[in-house]
Amino acid sequence: MPETPSKKPVVLLVIVGIVFGVSLLLVLLGLRPTEKQLVEIVQDGQVLYTLDLASAEDQELRIEAENGSWNLVCIRDGEIFMQDAGCPDHTCVNMGVLRAENLPIVCLPNRLVIRFAQGGQT
């Protein structure tokens, strides 16, 4: 470990500070509840369903995954959430209702995403 004071830690510190600041800004901007009503259910990069929460009837969608597991998506009173899943950790179920544009409900093991539809983005 060289004893001479190095500028490298300071440079790193600044980079880390910038990363943190930008992320914080994006989080604060992105986590507001959205006005959008159009929701997509995406599996493996393919859009399976597109639903309009404003007009969608209360329903349950059972989506089978390639690996034999499954997810139960539930729409109730204009809100969409994961009711149940065949995976052990239930992370997606615990995420609750889909609210923010930048926080899609993601099921990693079954490669399923529920998100607000974004114009032009895949």
Partner 1 sequence: MKLHKLTELALLTALALIIFIIELRIPDLTPIPGVKLGLANIITVYAVFRYRPGETAMLVAARLLLGAMFTGNLSALLYSAAGAGLCLLGMLGVKRFIPQRYIWLCSVIGAILHNTGQIGAAIVLMRTTAVLTYLPVLLVSGCIAGLFTGLCAQFTVIRMEKLRPDRHE
Does 18 contact partner 1 by CB under 8 A?
Answer: no
Read off the amino acid at residue 40.
E
For residues 17 and 23, give the distance between their C-alpha atoms in angstroms, rounded to a whole number.
10
What tokens were used for 82? Answer: 């994961």
Q: Hey, which residues between 53 and 112 contact partner 1 (CB under 8 A)? A: 67, 87-89, 91-92, 94-96, 101-104, 106, 108-109, 111
Q: Hey, which residues between 27 and 56 contact partner 1 (CB under 8 A)? A: 27, 30-31, 42, 44-45
Q: How many residues bind partner 1 (CB under 8 A)?
A: 41
Does 19 contact partner 1 by CB under 8 A?
Answer: yes
| Site for partner 1, rule CB under 8 A | 1-2, 6, 8-9, 12-13, 16, 19-20, 22-24, 26-27, 30-31, 42, 44-45, 67, 87-89, 91-92, 94-96, 101-104, 106, 108-109, 111, 113, 115, 121-122
